[in-house]
Structure 1
Amino acid sequence: MSAAITTPPAAPTTSRLERVRQQLLSRADSLPTVAALLIFVLMLGYGEFAYGRIFQLSTVSNLFINNAHLIILAVGLTFVIISGGIDLSVGAIIALSSVSGVMLANAGWNAWLVIVVMILIGSLVGLASGVLIQYFNVQPFIATLAMMFLGRGLASMLSTVPVRLDEGSGILLLGTKIKIIDGPKVNDLVITPGVLLALLVVIAAFIILHRTRTGRTVYAIGGSEQSASLMGLSVVRTKLFIYVASGTLAGVAAVVYTARLGSAQNITGIGWELDAIAAAVIGGTLLTGGFGYVLGSVVGALVLGLMNVLITRDGGIPPEATTIITGGILLIFVLLQRAVISRQRE
């Protein structure tokens, strides 16, 4: 009589739901960036449903043209925040750089030389911040706050009234609209050299931050500066690079903004450092440092830009409410970041 053949019980398998949960947990750091992209898409859908004419080439064109300077600023702040620092001087750099540039251009200086000077002004302010932070152990908040007051004061000494570029200035060429697609009526897809410059900044920053040793060092410093030093990473040089890069990009943003507007004044850029920080945070950059995406910051800047478009289209929302809405969105993303961090620690 043959013995009964028994089949061993099948090994328990992880359910599909559990596998999805594990995958989400493994990529929890990217959830704020995904949320920002989702909000951007929902804002587009709401705008089209409520006001119409959002899904148009002209709307997309204006969104990028009007926010090219903010995208550039947000990219610079991404480096700073990932390293665990902060830079409050970028708005003042724009004021000082733009006023100086317009005055030099109107004095007869070559346009390209003026552009170089405007960018170098940002680089020098960023270098001063980096030196104070690295060699004098000044907290980034205090060092960049001091540079903010210095830059704003110097801009006010140069001029307290708006100054306009001469109509023939070569700087205005960076704000010239170039038609890419000729749509019906005024629904054209256009760009400016300023937008192309912002695109180049984004590409270069993405490569540096995500594909080079310098970028890995930026993340390491944000995670633990002491550990980064013990690993033999070039902490000093990288921290100087971070603040010089932030100041330099603020100078580039000043060039782009001045070329688009054709004028400058000492109050230009007030609060823009907070907008750039908000864009980076909305895009998924952790305020505690150690994590962030360049492309996420671009999405964050576009979210803020689209919010202004929708408020303008609505007509019933006062412009002052923009800061309230921005604060609310920022608070939501900060809380989301806290939830992600707490979940990872568990």
Structure 2
Amino acid sequence: MKTTEIQTSPLDQKLGDHKTHRFQLRLESLPTVAALVIFAAMIVYGELSYGRILQYNTLSNLLINNAHLVIIAVGMTFVILSGGIDLSVGAVIAFTSVSGVMLMNAGLNPWIATLFMIVVGGIFGLTSAILIQYFNVQPFIATLAMMFLARGLASMLSTVPERLPDDSPFRFLGKQVKIIDGPKVNDLVLTAGVVIAVVVVLVAFFVLHRTRLGRTVYATGGSEQSAVLMGLPVNRTKIWVYVISGALAGLASAVYTARLGIAQNITGNGWELDAIAATVIGGTLLTGGAGYVLGSVVGALVLGLMNVLITRDGSIPPEATTIITGGILLVFVLLQRVVGARQRK
């Protein structure tokens, strides 16, 4: 008996590979789509339950109050995509905020002080990267050490709030500018901090999806060994992602401090966890190699809108915020596990 072999043409193979690639892309984007659905559902629920959610001033407050979180979530996206973690960003924000304000109050030009905050943040990230890359320290331990170091330095500098003068040029970053004059107090207002956050997101999107550095970040997180075998600059890339995360923490510190006009050594407590939560909720895999910077923005806005709804409700204690955040994070981690299992199949 003759057996008939079915030969597959190159065109059929290409079509099959294309369908498989599209299916994997749909799976990878599933957590991000879920975050968008949750964000939309929260808006609908808030509008039906409390009202005045779909209006200019709510949108303005959401963007202004969470601009700093968006910025550090972008930096965290780079790190997690590469397969790492950065626990130091909250403490780096505290140290750069206190030191920056003290330098401004001592007479240093505010914009030089702002540059100082960004550079110092990058130095903390570089130190973490050196420990990880050249001393084989686990990212968790290296960035935890930087967290304690930065928090301790902030406390040594000052244990009392450091205030900026109301007429400080630095406060320009937090000055509200009316974009749309709505009825009564329903105005659309933005700050330079929001514009900075948008620019950071756009630049990060371009870097991750249109440059060699971005492609190497994804490849490193997917399989570091394979990335090395392909000749990609893995070592340099892993250093860059931590420098980017630290520098963006310094930038977020400037945006946040300019809005409040005050710096404290306790600023940023737990913000590293918020940034990780925003990144994971936005669809970035904790194991690295898959995710979207725009998804991290959605994740940050989900956390911000959750705080708005809890405040509007009034009956939910503020302490419940962490419980709800933990529940949402758990759901998305489980969703990532399901997506990973389906991809392996």
Same fold (TM over 0.5): yes
Distance 1:255 1:241 in 2: 21
C-alpha separation in 2, matches of 1:228 and 1:22 = 19
- 3-state DSSP class of the match of 1:91? helix
SS of the aligned residue for 1:27 comes to helix
Structure 1 stretch displaced more, 166-175 or 142-151: 166-175
C-alpha separation in 1, matches of 2:275 and 2:73: 4
Say what the alpha-carbon RMSD is for the aligned residues: 1.3
Q: 1:287 maps to what in 2?
A: 286
Equivalent position of 1:183 in the other structure: 182
Q: Distance in 2 between matches of 1:21 and 1:201?
A: 33
Partner of 2:132: 133
2:142 counterpart residue number: 143
After superposition, the Cα gap between the structure-2 partners of 1:212 and 1:105, relative to the gap in structure 1 and judged at 3 Å, is same
User: Which residue of structure 2 aligns with residue 154 of structure 1?
Assistant: 153
1:245 Cα shift? 0.2
Paired position in structure 2 for 1:174: 173
Quote the sequence identity (%): 73
Quick one: distance in 1 between partners of 2:275 and 2:47?
A: 26
Match of 1:262 in 2: 261
CA-CA distance at 1:31 after TM superposition: 0.3
Deviation at residue 330 of structure 1 after TM alignment? 0.2
Match for 2:279: what amino acid? A
Shift in Å at residue 300 of structure 1?
0.2
SS in 1 for 2:34: helix
1:310 aligns with 2:314: no
Runs of at least 4 residues off by over 3 Å:
20-26
Post-superposition offset of 1:239: 0.7
Tell me how far apart the structure 2 counterparts of residues 149 and 49 of structure 1 sit (CA, whole Å). 44
Unmatched 5+ stretches in structure 2 = 1-18
**Whole-Å separation in 2 of the counterparts to 1:56 and 1:285:** 30
State the alpha-carbon separation in 2 of the partners of residues 22 and 48 from structure 1. 39
Q: Secondary structure at the match of 2:80?
A: helix
How far apart, CA to CA, are the structure 1 residues paired with 2:299 and 2:203?
Answer: 18
Aligned position for 1:272: 271
Q: CA offset at residue 163 of structure 1?
A: 1.0
Which residue in 2 is equivalent to 1:98? Answer: 97
- Please say if 1:240 is aligned against 2:239: yes
Give 1:211's aligned residue. 210
- Judged with a 3 Å threshold, the aligned counterparts in structure 2 of structure 1 residues 237 and 22 are, in CA distance, closer, same or farther, namely closer
| Alignment CA distance shift 1:80-1:22 (3 Å) | closer
Output the amino acid matched with 1:174. Answer: L
Q: Which residue in 1 is equivalent to 2:6?
A: none
How many residues align? The count is 327
SS at match of 1:180: strand
Matches within 5 A, 1:301-340: 301-340=300-339
Report what 1:15 is aligned to. none
CA distance in 2, matches of 1:324, 1:179: 36
Q: 1:116 to 1:23 in 2, by over 3 A?
A: closer
Correspondence for 1:195 = 194
- Cα deviation 1:199-225 (Å, max 9, x = unaligned): 110000000001111100000100111
Structure 2 residue identity aligned to 1:122: G
Q: Which moved more, 1:20-29 or 1:253-262?
A: 20-29
Shift of 1:22: 10
Which sections of structure 1, spanning at least 5 residues, go unmatched? 1-19
- CA deviation string 1:204-260 (max 9, x = no partner): 000000111110000010011111111110111111100000000000000000001
Could you tell me which amino acid in structure 2 is paired with residue 172 of structure 1?
R
26 and 249 in structure 1: CA distance in 2 versus 1, 3 angstrom threshold? closer
Correspondence 1:13-162 to 2 at 5 A: 27-162=26-161
Compute the displacement of 1:21 (Å).
12
Match in the other structure for 2:299: 300
- Name the SS of the counterpart of 1:239 in structure 2: helix
| Aligned partner letter, 2:52 | R
TM-score norm. by structure 1 comes to: 0.93
Name the amino acid aligned to 1:180. I
SS, match of residue 178 in structure 1: strand
Task: Provide Cα deviations, 1:299-329, integer angstroms capped at 9, x if missing partner.
Answer: 0000000000000000000000000000000
Once the two structures are superposed, residues 117-173 of structure 1 have per-residue CA deviations (whole angstroms, 9 ceiling, x without a partner) of: 111110110010011111111110000000000000000000011111112211100
Mapped to 2, the partners of 1:173 and 1:297 lie a distance apart of 27
